[in-house]
Homo-oligomer: A and B are copies of this chain.
Amino acid sequence: MRNQQVLLASRPEGMPQPSNFKIVESDIARPQPGQFLVQTHYLSVDPYMRGRMRDVKSYADPVAIGEVMVGGTVGKVIESQHARYRPDDLVVGSWGWQSYAVTDGKECYRLPPSEAPLSTALGVRGMPGLTAYFGLLEIGKPQPGETVFVTAAAGAVGSLVGQIAKIHGCRVVGSAGSDAKVAHLIDDLGFDVAFNYRQSSDVAAELYECCPTGIDLFFDNVGGALSDAAFAQINQSARVVICGQIDQYNADSPPQGPRLLWHLIVKRARVQGFLVFDFVDRYRHALEQIDQWMREGKVQYRETVVDGLENAPNAFIGLFRGENLGKQLVRLI
């Protein structure tokens, strides 16, 4: 039994390529006192990882060339010399793109018993779910009757944003990159309107049709032209939540676009970025709320799962092509 790892082989220019990654095998390390050995069951791939591949100081350090790619993980303890973890414990952490890891447990938590599938700890009951919850409710502050527009609405975060906004009495409009996703938003997730921005010859006109009374809350996962169109259609006292800018992540030179700040004066609007980690003290309460909504049938989720660590690079690259519906995962076992 060997440890399989995906290393960062080179820094991508533009869209990441499989050649930016290198798959290696090594012996499995043994845990020392205070450590445990965990076997990865699921690995999360997320757009933010593109930022970590860049050699730029940001809110977190970049991955070094030759290092294991970062990423959220869920797995089972195999062997422990750690006081708080025992074999067969299910743990959630960030030990990255590898099949086994030895960890001191500092960035991990034990998953409480639940009927929910293990994989949801990386999606609706994990970082993307928490991102949607805090970004919408704490930053966006939706009010009943308001129009909420969410981009990448069929993704792990966007799908939850739309459903939570519906729970809060909003009219919810979503954009997605395929007709199947649009149908899913409306038929399965209860969005009021949705449109396929890739099929649209005039995104601004399409958005206007979907939001005839303007946008009160814009939850942006995408950036770029779609975001520009939304900024031009915000209402007075609108809030714009900047959660992600996936359309920009592969740009090698600073992307240009129309200047947007003037809209903010005229509309007395607020634009705010956030990171989910800033709400860590309140994760537990949020997860209980999400669990309750799922039990009540008010929140659904989807997962797109590929098997095998060797397919992690392509699963990651697929995010930028919109190949995932809901949460993109890699199943290792």
Contact = CB atoms under 8 A, between A and B. Distances in A.
A220 B244 CA distance: 24
A266 B256 CA distance: 18
Contacts of A278: 268
A126 interface: no
Nearest to A236: B59
- The prevalent SS among residues of A at the interface is mixed
A99 interface: no
Contacts of A269: 272-273
Interface in A205-220: 220
Contacts of A273: 261, 263-270
User: What's the interface size class on A, roughly?
Assistant: 35 or more
Nearest 7 A/B pairs, CB to CB: A264-B273, A265-B273, A271-B271, A270-B272, A255-B259, A254-B258, A242-B264
Contacts of A254: 258-259
Nearest to A238: B273
Contacts of A224: 259
A248 B265 CA distance: 13
Nearest to A58: B266
A257 B223 CA distance: 14
B220 A261 contact: yes
Interface string A220-231: 100110010000
A243 interface: yes
Contact of A223 (B220, B256, B261, B272): B261
A263 B248 CA distance: 12
Contacts of A248: 259, 262
A272 B242 CA distance: 13
A10 interface: no
A252 to B, nearest CB: 14
A111 interface: no
A180 interface: no
Contacts of A268: 272-275, 278
A245 interface: yes
Question: Which of A256, A259, A267 neighbours the largest number of chain B CB atoms within 10 Å of its CB?
Answer: A259
Contacts of A243: 265
Nearest to A247: B259
A272 B227 CA distance: 17
